[in-house]
Amino acid sequence: NAGVTQTPKFQVLKTGQSMTLQCAQDMNHEYMSWYRQDPGMGLRLIHYSVGAGITDQGEVPNGYNVSRSTTEDFPLRLLSAAPSQTSVYFCASSRIGTEQGAHEQYFGPGTRLTVT
């Protein structure tokens, strides 16, 4: 298994440009999510999905769109890049939890994005 993969590893954008960060997993996980990591801020949830066709907002969704057309893929779109979106982006996946317990989230290697 490749686990969770992300492309690209590095990206530089100019303000106003748009782009899509790719995320894929081969573990048949229902749950997928996107986080951004900034110094001193920890991991903040952008968007998440509990299955194909179902997405929801996290704590910092503004400026980002997601879709989930298949179980495997969960792309993150930056509509009009801003310098405030300079960050490291992690995708993660896991099996769906239940009331009795949750399952480990597996993280991708990350995408380092710089917006100038």
Partner 1 sequence: GENVEQHPSTLSVQEGDSAVIKCTYSDSASNYFPWYKQELGKRPQLIIDIRSNVGEKKDQRIAVTLNKTAKHFSLHITETQPEDSAVYFCAARTLYGNNRLAFGKGNQVVVIP
In the bound state with partner 1, the residue whose beta carbon lies nearer, of 3 and 16, is: 3
3-state secondary structure 30-85: CEEEEEEEECCCEEEEEEEEEECCEEEECCCCCCEEECCCCCCECCEEECCCCHHH
Give the x-and-dash track for 28-67 against partner 1 (CB under 8 A). ---x-x-x----xxxxxx--x-x-------xx--------
Query: Which DSSP symbol is given to 95?
Result: P
Round to whole Å and give the CA distance between 52 and 69: 5
Least Å from the CB of residue 107 to partner 1: 4
Is residue 77 at the binding interface for partner 1, with CB under 8 A as the rule? no
Q: Select the span of 11-19, 60-68, 76-84, 99-107 touching partner 1 (CB under 8 A).
A: 99-107
Say if CB 5 and CB 23 are below 8 A apart: yes
Query: Does 8 contact partner 1 by CB under 8 A?
Result: no
List contacts with partner 1 (CB under 8 A). 31, 33, 35, 40-45, 48, 50, 58-59, 90, 94-97, 99, 101-105, 107-110
